[in-house]
Amino acid sequence: MLEYVEKIKETAGKLFKEGKVDVFIGYKKGSVPMMNQPVLISNADQVDLLYWDSNCGLNLCNYLTKRTDRIGIVANGCNSRNIVTHITENQISRDQLYIVGIPCKGMIDHRAVQRAVKQKEILAIEEHGESFTVKGKDFEDTFNKNDYLQRNCSVCTHRNPVIFDEMIAPPVEEQDGVDAYKDVKQIEEMDPEKKWDFFTRMIDKCIRCYACRNACPLCYCPTCFVDESKPQWVGKSSDPIDTMTFHILRAYHCAGRCTDCGACERVCPVGIPIRQFTKKLNKDAQELFSWEAGLTLDQRPLLDVFRPDDYNDFIR
C-alpha cells in the first residue's frame, strides 16, 4: 500500500490549494517500527508529512468528533464506516468532510510479528506489496503479509470505503468466503460457567488503562459511565468484577455500531482480544436484524429506531 503515499500527499496539497479544506487528517510515519501516528496538517507545506502503509491501525474517525472546521481525511473501509456512523449519530456533518478513500489490504498485526521473531526487538520494517521484511540487530525475516494481518482485517469484507469524495486508487478485491464468527460460535457453544470462566481469564491482565475505549471512535460520550461519580456505577479499583462490568457494558454501548476496525485490540498494552465482546454483538446484529454498521447514510443506526410496523412482536 506504499504506492498510495505520493497520491495522498498530492491530493491533500490539491485540497489546500483549492481551498476545499481547513485541515487534513492522515497518518505520519512513526518514530518506532510498526507504529504510525495520526497527524493533523493545516497547510499545503506540511503534506510531505503524510504517510500510509500497513501500520495505520488507529481509527482516524476518533479525531473528527465535534470538530467545526472543514476537514480532509483519509479513510479505508472500516474508517469510512465509522465516518458514516459519526455522521448518522450527529458527531460530524457530511458537508464538513472531504473523504479521500483508500482501498485497504489490511493492517499488520504487530503482536503476531513480534511473536514470529520470538519477541526479539524489531528495528525496521519494509513492505514490498504482498510481503514485508523485519530487521533487528542479528536477524532479518520476510513474511507474507496475508499471514500476519490483524485478526479483524483477515475477516474483513469491507476493504473499500463505503463513502468518499475521491478514491486514491481503484477498489481492491473484497475477501469472500471468510467466516468472521468462527471464534464467536465456539464461545456460544460453551455453558454459562465456562463462558464466564473464559471471559474472566481473557481480561485477567486488564490494567484499566481504558486504551480500548479511547481508541474506539464510538466512545465519544462526554463522560463515560466508568467515570461517573454521582452515582458511581463502577468501582475504580482493580477488582475483577468492576473490570468485567466495564468491558461488558462498553461492548453493549457498541452494539449495532461497531465496524470491527480492530483499534481496541491493537492498542491494548497487555494483548487482550477485546473484540471477542463486540464481535458477538456484531454477529447478533447481522443474524437478527441483517445489520452491519456504517454502510449507508440512508438508515438510522440499528438501536435508535422504533417502527410501529416492526416485524418483531416483542418490540411493539
Partner 1 sequence: MTKKIYTKEEWIKALAGLKSSYNIFVPVKDGDFHTFKALDETKIPDFNFQNTRLSPKSLIYPQSERIFEYNLDKDAPDANIIKESEKDYSPRAIVGIRPCDAHAFQIVKPNFDNPEYQDPWWIQRYESTTFVGLGCNDPGSTCFCTSVGGGPFSEKGLDALLYDLGDTFLVKALTDKGETFLNQAQGGKEADETALKAGEDLAAKAADKIEQKVSIDRLKGKVQTELFDAPFWDEVAFACINCGICTYLCPTCWCFDIQDEVLEKQGDRIRNWDSCMFPLFTLHGSGHNPRAKKVQRVRQRFMHKLKYYVDKYNNGVQCSGCGRCVRNCPANIDIREVCKMMNGYRDNVEC
Residues at the interface with partner 1 (CB under 8 A):
30-32, 35-40, 57-58, 62-63, 111, 114-115, 119, 121, 123, 137, 205, 207-211, 213-215, 223, 227, 229, 235-239, 266-267, 269-271
How far apart are CB 215 and partner 1 at their closest, in Å? 5
Minimal distance, residue 257 CB to partner 1, in Å: 18
Residue 261 CB, nearest approach to partner 1 (Å):
13
Q: Which is nearer to partner 1, 43 or 299 (CB)?
A: 43
Under a CB-based contact definition with an 8 Å cutoff, are residues 129 and 244 in contact? Answer: no
Min. distance of Cβ 55 from partner 1 in angstroms? 10
Q: Which is nearer to partner 1, 42 or 299 (CB)?
A: 42
Give CA torsion, residues 62, 65, 71, 74, to 10 deg. Answer: 20
Nearer to partner 1, 115 or 185 (CB): 115
Complex with partner 1: residue 40 or 302, whichever CB lies closer: 40
Q: How far is the CB of 142 from partner 1 (least distance, A)?
A: 21
Closer to partner 1 by CB, 168 or 226: give it: 226
Which is nearer to partner 1, 47 or 162 (by Cβ)? 47
Cβ proximity to partner 1, 116 vs 302, nearer residue: 116
CB of residue 35 vs partner 1: minimum separation in angstroms?
5
Q: In the bound complex, what is the minimum distance in angstroms from residue 117's beta carbon to partner 1?
A: 12
